[in-house]
Amino acid sequence: GLQAPFHCATAPYWDSIRLCNVHASWLGINPDHPTWDYRDDQFAEIKAVVDQFPRTVFGGDFNAKSPDAPDNAHAWVWPQGLYSQGPGTEGYQECDQTGTSRTGRPTHGSGVKIDYLFSSETRRWCAVADSVYSDHHVVIESVAVG
């Protein structure tokens, strides 16, 4: 949908882990069709790409509330198996995810979470902090590699 960026690179220094950056479209991005939502297709395509690699970390601005956010009328954009429902379940664990709840701290100045870091690797820690340079917060994840 509308050429939203999704880029990946392999980090050979870290045992060839695949690193990907996301910037998904938002609802209403197409002025000719403001009710069209491209995120479901974009998220499904992202999942299809990252599923090809045994080790991956991917994230960025998904422009979507988490599927478990209260009153989220757009939870349907998240494909099954992308966002894990906790350890031992299908999908990728999100940096700020605790247990089975697919939520986390707000990552945007509007007070909602729309930025995510997902990984197939074991999470060591996750940080979310304000930024003076953006309306988005900084999200940093440390994962065990090597």
- pLDDT at residue number 59: 97
What pLDDT band is residue 1 in, cutting at 50, 70 and 90? very low
Q: Residue 103 domain-assigned?
A: yes
- pLDDT at residue number 56: 96
pLDDT digits 0-9 by tens, 95-119 = 999 889 898 999 999 999 999 999 9
Domain extent at residue 114: 6-143
Q: Residue 96 domain-assigned?
A: yes
Whether this prediction's pTM lies above 0.75 is answered by yes
**b/e code 113-137 from CB counts within 10 Å (16+ = b):** bbbbbbbbbebeebebeeeeeeebb
Share of the chain above pLDDT 70, in %: 97
Q: Residue 1 domain-assigned?
A: no
What pLDDT band is residue 29 in, cutting at 50, 70 and 90? confident
Count up the domains in the chain and report the number: 1
Taking the C-alpha atoms of residue 140 and residue 127, their distance in angstroms, rounded to an integer, is 5
Q: Residue 10 domain-assigned?
A: yes
- pLDDT at residue number 48: 96
